[in-house]
Amino acid sequence: MDRFEDAATELEAVRELAPHDESILFDLARVRLGEGRKGEAKALLTRALGLQPGDRAVNKLLREIENR
């Protein structure tokens, strides 16, 4: 397993415990982006934005993905 797979496995386990935690969704989106899974990263960020609409980091990363 590479570092992205390890991180994704750990974050998915944490997400099961706290499915509505914006910071976990954000971190998992960054991992998915690192894996090249742009669509999944965008979906996770969109969900995180729904939970915390004013989050600058989420908005910034979402814009970066859309501009790629």
User: What does the pLDDT look like over 19-54, one tens digit per residue?
Assistant: 899 999 999 999 999 999 999 999 999 999 999 999
Non-local CB neighbours of 59 within 8 Å, separated by 6+ positions:
49
Using the structure block, give the residue that is written with the tokens 């499915």: 19
pLDDT computed for residue 11 by the predictor: 92
| Start-to-end CA span in the chain (Å) | 27
pLDDT computed for residue 68 by the predictor: 84
Give the tokens for residue 19.
Answer: 């499915």
DSSP-derived letter for residue 52 is S
Mean pLDDT of the region 7-28: 93
Mean pLDDT of the region 3-19: 91
Give the tokens for residue 34.
Answer: 């690192």
**Could you tell me if 48 and 22 are in contact, meaning their C-beta atoms sit under 8 angstroms apart?**
yes
**Could you tell me if 66 and 42 are in contact, meaning their C-beta atoms sit under 8 angstroms apart?**
yes
CATH architecture of structural domain 3-66: Alpha Horseshoe (1.25)
pLDDT computed for residue 54 by the predictor: 92
